[in-house]
Amino acid sequence: MVQFYSPNRCFVNRGIISVTADNLDAQGQGIARHQGKTIFIPGLLPGEQAQIQLTEEKRQFAKAKVVKRLSDSPHRVDPHCPHFKVCGGCQQQHVTTELQVNTKASVLEHLIQRETGVSISAHPIIHSPEYGYRRRARLGLQYHTKQRNLLMGFRQSQTNDLVNIKHCPVMRPELEQLLQPLHQCLNSLNAVKRLGHVELVLADSGPLIVLRHLDPLKHEDKEILCTFSVQYNVAFYLLGDEKSLEPLIARQPAPWYQVDGLKLVFSPQDFIQVNDEVNQQMVAQALAWLDLQPTDRVLDLFCGMGNFTLPIATKVQTVVGVEGVTALVASGQYNARLNELNNVDFFHENLESDIHQQPWAAQGFNKVLLDPARAGAAGVMVHIVKLAPEKVVYVSCNPTTLARDSKVLLEAGYHLVSVRMLDMFPHTGHLESMALFSSGLMDIE
């Protein structure tokens, strides 16, 4: 449900009113109606009645908080996390997975229908494990002088304050079990007051930790970290500034993960998909939708380090990946050599600038995949139409920009054949999806 904000604050009636929620939005907020106005209420589920108090009121909608819940939905469950409602990481652990994914699929369908006029189902959904899915997490570090204690955790909702995280059930268990010993380790450092953040990553090669420190670490602190690294079999990396990543132990093997049978080596600072199980399904679905043939020439825009590009290369004549981050392009090129794929070219280009003079743009392609950031791909959509590919697969982390960019293809005569909702981030408001467009009528499920 899109919310429209007015710059002028309206009078908020602080009285208590009774409502019954009739829907849920993608953020997990209950939606109720009162005197013709839509009210968004965190923590209230469809069918539940509650006494609420308005916290913000605009011309078209209002926000409210629950004062007293008068009934419970069968879709209400007990959250697994002890930090739920305080930590800003998850918003929907009180909601059954069934309701979460169906709500997100409905929001996706609604946005596409509203923006394009096309009615299409976002089912079947690409599902994730309910918990233990996150293989990457960055936690803030903040030293409290009065308590003489280091806080390590995620931000509270709508504040910059940290929640001291001791358990995180959405993390992969191999990472969650490191939280408490890692906190004790960092709290014992001489440099404890000058730490920025810590990132935990689970590669297929094992867990790794990246520690951002604001001052050079002394020898004693490095020894403490080395002991932790050996004891817990974790690869440790130190980040003195954003460009000075170095392994704690020299000649540490580079981390890697597998996708579609390929081995992809990456730097701890490289972007990789947080949810490995959904990533595997997503890549498989994209390859199936593209219906790859040995004579195909495929273009992969916003390609990252080749998460899609390299699996595509195993099945086609040639594939070109275009990416704006230099380090990701270098990782893609390295992994192409590692996997002995000689039909791949990577280009480092800014896809938000004038693309017509970029070298890849002069080539011809009969199939296209794109996986842009939240801002979407407005700058390349017209060029994709000029290429006249048979099929286009659009992977999206923002349904609003997916719907917007879809209109360019539809107006050019393409057909929206299929849409999938990807449950990449269970218990959160993030909505990931993918869509297949074809230059001719077809039926793929």
Beta strands in 58-147 (DSSP E): 61-69, 136-144
Residues 421, 125: contact at Cβ < 8 Å?
yes
CA–CA dist 328, 339 (Å, integer): 16
pLDDT at 59: 84
Which one of 185, 226, 303, 397 is the catalytic residue? 397
Is 303 annotated to bind a ligand? Reply is no
Which of left, alpha, beta for 28 (phi over 0: left; psi -120 to 50: alpha)? left
Domain spanning 103-128+275-438: CATH superfamily: Vaccinia Virus protein VP39 (3.40.50.150)
Q: Tell me how far apart the alpha carbons of residues 436 and 287 are, in angstroms, rounded to a whole number.
A: 11
Confidence of residue 158 (pLDDT cuts 50, 70, 90): confident
Map out the domains of the chain as residue ranges.
16-71, 103-128+275-438, 136-256
Distance from C-alpha of 223 to C-alpha of 307, rounded to nearest angstrom: 36
d(CA 58, CA 429): 23
User: What pLDDT does residue 236 have?
Assistant: 96
Q: What percent of the chain has pLDDT over 90?
A: 85
307 is in an annotated binding site: yes
CATH architecture for residues 16-71: Beta Barrel (2.40)
Structure confidence at residue 443 (pLDDT): 42
Residue 3 has pLDDT above 90, yes or no: no
Any known ligand binding at 204?
A: no
Average pLDDT of the segment spanning 414-428: 97
For residue range 36-58, list pLDDT tens digits in order: 899 999 999 999 999 999 999 88
What distance in Å separates the CA atoms of residue 115 and residue 376, rounded to the nearest whole number? 15
pLDDT band of 12, cuts 50, 70, 90? low
Average confidence (pLDDT) over 98-113: 95
pLDDT at residue 10, as a whole number: 47
Residue 8 clears pLDDT 50, i.e. is over it:
no
| 90 is known to lie in a ligand binding site | yes
10 is catalytic: no
Task: Please list the residues that pair with 370 across neighbouring strands.
Answer: 301, 394
Buried b (16+ CB within 10 A) or exposed e, 18-41: ebbbebbbbbbbbbbeeeeebbbb
Classify residue 412 by burial, with Cβ atoms within 10 Å: 0-12, 13-18, 19+.
middle
E-strand ranges in 260-400 read 262-265, 297-301, 318-323, 344-348, 367-370, 391-396
168: annotated binding-site residue? yes
pLDDT at 146: 79
Residue 382 has pLDDT above 60, yes or no: yes
Q: Residues 375-386: what's their mean pLDDT?
A: 95
443 token code pair: 């039926």
Position 1 confidence tier, pLDDT thresholds 50, 70, 90: very low
Q: Tell me the pLDDT of the chain averaged across its residues.
A: 93
The CATH label, of 2.40.50.1070, 1.10.630.10, 3.30.590.10, 3.40.50.920, for the domain at 136-256 is 2.40.50.1070
Annotated ligand binding at 350? The verdict is yes
Say if residue 87 carries a ligand binding annotation.
yes
Inform me whether the pLDDT recorded for 6 exceeds 50: no
Give the pLDDT band of residue 13 (cuts 50, 70, 90): low
Name the strand (E) or helix (H) holding 109: helix 97-116
CB 324 within 8 A of CB 349: yes
* Burial of 219: CB neighbours in 10 Å, binned 0-12, 13-18, 19+: exposed
Q: What percent of the chain has pLDDT over 70?
A: 95
Q: Is 302 annotated as a binding residue?
A: yes
Dist. CA 235–CA 254, nearest whole Å: 9
The pLDDT of residue 243 is above 90: no
Q: Do domains 16-71 and 103-128+275-438 have the same CATH topology?
A: no
